[in-house]
Amino acid sequence: MEKMRLGFLDRREGIRDIFLLEKQIFGSNYLSLSDLFYMYDHESYELLAAIEQCGAEERIISYLILLDAFETYEIIKFGTVEGERRKGWGKKLLDLAKSMARDGIFLEVRETNRNAIAFYGKNGFEKINIRKNYYRDTNENAVVMCWKNKREEETDGSGAL
């Protein structure tokens, strides 16, 4: 029987799985294995994953890498196995990240990645800027998007609701 769990990547072996997914999903723009291990070991990064468990076997379905940039998070990478897309795993990971964020979350996405832009828009992100010629491989523009934590705006400045 298959079970799914959502949370922090809690085993180093999962890094190799993410590396293989990176190559599959992002082609020539994947993160190196050494970069992924660095992120796993460094306290400024959070690696979240949706993991399918069938007996002793585990398979990463979706993953989200965050950089803790003081008061905000930045999404470094976000990927979901092709056959598992549009099943809610990405949204669940994004919701988990939003629950952890103090002020908000920023990200860059390729201007031509309309599906990702629509996904982020449906999940409360707003376009705030364009970075011209941001992606080195194609000189494509990046759309900068931001989600603001509304809990901060609902306080009176003292942190009390």
Sign of CA dihedral 43, 102, 132, 23: positive
Q: Going edge to edge, which strands form the sheet with 2-8?
A: 2-8, 45-54, 57-69, 72-80, 104-110, 140-148, 126-135
Separation of alpha carbons 22 and 19, rounded Å = 5
Separation of alpha carbons 123 and 22, rounded Å = 23
Q: Which residue has the tokens 């190559």?
A: 23
- Sketch out the chain's domains with CATH numbers: 2-153 (3.40.630.30)
The token duo for 79 is 């990927």
Distances (CA, A) of 126 to 26, 91, 118, 123, 151: 23, 16, 10, 9, 17
pTM assigned to the model: 0.86
The token duo for 92 is 């669940």
Full pLDDT tens readout for the chain, 161 residues: 468 888 888 788 889 999 999 998 888 778 999 999 999 999 999 999 999 887 778 889 999 999 998 889 999 999 999 888 888 899 999 999 999 998 999 999 999 999 999 999 999 999 999 999 998 888 999 999 999 988 655 555 555 44
Q: Please say whether the beta carbons of 26 and 79 come within 8 A.
A: yes
Alpha helix segments (H runs only) across 27-149: 33-41, 89-100, 114-122
Separation of alpha carbons 102 and 68, rounded Å = 10
